[in-house]
Copies of this chain bind each other. A is one copy, B any other.
Amino acid sequence: MTGAAGGDGTAEIMPELQRLRDSIDNIDAALIHMLAERFRCTQAVGALKAEHGLPPADPEREARQIRRLRSRAEQARLDPEFAEKFLNFIVGEVIRHHRAIADAATD
């Protein structure tokens, strides 16, 4: 007997909870693989920019990405504020990568 299967009425919801959690775990696996692919692309962008002495950040491109992602989020009924926070989170990591590549290139 685990706590989750105890007498507090949670046992009856466990199958539904488990079903939802299995979906979440599948989606997380997909997200991780999409993110890995995204970083492969941004690492290639970073290498290309470093090779040609272009700055790692590109505010105009980022502003366009944010506009497009907010609009997509609305279509998908996802909070556009969250979509923008999410992109900023990812771009922060990308810029960290690009700086590392640029630093390595100029060493």
- A interface residues (Cβ-Cβ under 8 A, vs B): 9-10, 13, 16-17, 20-21, 23-25, 27-39, 41-42, 44-45, 48-49, 51-54, 61, 65, 68-69, 72-73, 76-78, 82-83, 86-87, 89, 93
Contacts and interface: CB of A to CB of B under 8 A. Distances in A.
Given A36-B77, A77-B36, A89-B89, A27 B10 contact: no
A36 to B, nearest CB: 4
B28 A69 contact: yes
A53 B78 CA distance: 26
A78 B35 contact: yes
Given A13-B52, A65-B25, A87-B28, A20 B45 contact: yes
Contact of A31 (B25, B31, B48, B49): B31
B48 A24 contact: no
22 contacts: A9-B53, A10-B54, A13-B52, A17-B49, A20-B41, A21-B61, A23-B37, A23-B41, A24-B41, A24-B42, A25-B68, A27-B41, A28-B38, A31-B31, A32-B73, A32-B76, A32-B78, A33-B72, A36-B73, A36-B76, A36-B78, A39-B78
